[in-house]
Amino acid sequence: MQHETANQHAGARPPVLEVRDLRKKFGGLRALDGCSLSVEEGTITGLIGPNGAGKTTLFNAITGFFRPDSGRVLTDGHDITSLPPHRVFRRGICRTFQIPREHGTMTVLENLMLVAPDQAGERFWNCWFRPGLVRRQEREIRDRAMEVLEFVDLARLSDEYAGRLSGGQKKLLELARTLMARPRLVLLDEPAAGVNRTLMKKLAENIEYLRRERGITFLLIEHDMDLVMHLCDPVIVMSEGRHLMQGHPEDVRSDPRVLEAYLGGQYGARDGGGNGGRHGAA
């Protein structure tokens, strides 16, 4: 599926996300080694690469969970490199995790209501002196949460404990939680992992709808090449902590550098050569 970027004709507007020469070491391991890339507004950009390429470390550096050793992260031209996660979140950048991090002892609905920003009830004096405001806002948040659950087809499970959901349902819940924050950019870490084909199709449809109708930009890490080829344009390839190439899905799939990154010496050394069949479609 080929997408026309929303800012294709917008002149010199800066990218919604730009990473410049990002470096991060853990002991002797260079997880990011001068990584530079950009994500244009209104795209669904795929981020692929063999295990150990630095993809999740990059997500952690962008969202403030890791502080890079050097380099810069910018959104709309503004430097956010040193911001903690909660301030990156307030900039409209949200992420999901490869392993969902739901609050298992809270209901599905409560998981969503918790995310809504700037809640008056978070300030205890409002509960005493402005209870009407708190109640009114809570009703509004609840109504919005139910709308989001309807969108991801989880409304029937609104009163179920989140910890009891299936793996695929938890991935949909992760997406729903990001939507409660009204994001501009969503970083998805392997949204298809552990998801059956029916739920994966629903997830892909939701992502495409949100890009097209709500103008949300997506950057997603994914190993399922069928999903990448169907959903993403452009596709960025990482290898050994660096940006290897970027292009349309078909061009990336047939590029010799990509085949070498997945099937060559680096992949065999890091993964013991045992997982090549999983990634060989790239």
Rounded to two decimals, the pTM is 0.80
> Residue 187's closest CA among 89, 83, 51?
89
Q: How confident is the model at residue 212 (pLDDT cuts 50, 70, 90)?
A: very high
- The pLDDT score that the predictor gives to residue 226 is 87
Q: How confident is the model at residue 111 (pLDDT cuts 50, 70, 90)?
A: very high
Range among 4-13, 45-54, 253-262 rated most confident = 45-54
Is 176:151 a contact under the CB 8 Å cutoff? yes
- The pLDDT score that the predictor gives to residue 279 is 39
- The more confidently predicted of residues 278 and 170 is 170
Residue 146 has pLDDT above 70, yes or no: yes
| Token code pair at residue 243 | 């940006």
Mean pLDDT, residues 108-113: 92
* Phi (first) and psi of residue 147, to 5 degrees: -60, -45
Task: Name the average pLDDT for the chain.
Answer: 84
Mean pLDDT, residues 80-95: 93
Architecture of domain 29-35+45-202+209-219+250-267: 3-Layer(aba) Sandwich (3.40)
- The pLDDT score that the predictor gives to residue 133 is 57
Integer CA distances (angstroms), 6 to 44, 163, 168, 181, 183, in order: 11, 37, 30, 21, 16
- The pLDDT score that the predictor gives to residue 155 is 94
* Phi (first) and psi of residue 21, to 5 degrees: 50, 50
Residue 93 has pLDDT above 70, yes or no: yes
- Which sequence spans correspond to the domains of the chain? 29-35+45-202+209-219+250-267
